[in-house]
Amino acid sequence: MAQCLDPTTSKGNYKTLEEDPEYLLQLINKYVRVLVLKNICFNGFVHSIDPITYSIILSVPQEDTFQTTLIPGHAIVDVIEIPVETQVPSRRISSCEKQDDEKSRKNKLISWFKKNLLPVSVEADNIVVATAKVLPPYNVLDIYAENPTIARQIRKIMSMMPENFAPT
């Protein structure tokens, strides 16, 4: 995070860019400067953009690593693409690639939800918990819920499951 010394470098208003989803998609993995309210800037690689709130997740270079930063869409004034020589950070690949691991994880989660007295059912490949769904490969980031509070609670319960939990 830094003060933007030259606000005149802005090429347009982010609110008008929200109307151009193709441009927003092109920003993925690009190095950008994000100008937010109070003339503050964030520089980093665009990891993803939320299509509803237009919030941006940036991978900000820090020494030999990257820090993930969430910038709320309502605070963004503008996004400027900056050419750099730095490599885009590599994304982690899920470790649950085998179907056996997926099936095991699915059964383990179903048992864990039942142990925590949650209403759970299976719909196709998805685990349905109340009004939320846990999608394959059944990790804490694979939760779909229209209500973010429910998704957060399901994620919290999933993260509390011990590694050595054995389904009953």
The residue ranges of every structural domain in the chain are: 2-81, 99-159
Where does 2-81 sit in CATH, by number? 2.30.30.100
* CA count, 13 A, side-chain hemisphere, 37: 5
By the 10 Å C-beta count (0-12 exposed, 13-18 middle, 19+ buried), 96 is classed as: middle
In this prediction, residue 8 carries a pLDDT of 45
Give the tens place of pLDDT for each residue, 82-116. 887 666 665 554 444 456 788 888 999 999 999 99
* pLDDT band with cut points at 50, 70 and 90 for residue 4: low
Q: What's the whole-model pTM score?
A: 0.49
In this prediction, residue 146 carries a pLDDT of 85
* pLDDT band with cut points at 50, 70 and 90 for residue 128: very high
In this structure, are residues 32 and 81 in contact, taking their beta carbons and an 8 Å threshold? yes
In this prediction, residue 120 carries a pLDDT of 94
Give the three-class secondary structure for 57.
Answer: strand
By the 10 Å C-beta count (0-12 exposed, 13-18 middle, 19+ buried), 32 is classed as: buried
In this prediction, residue 119 carries a pLDDT of 92
Residues of the chain above pLDDT 70, percent = 82
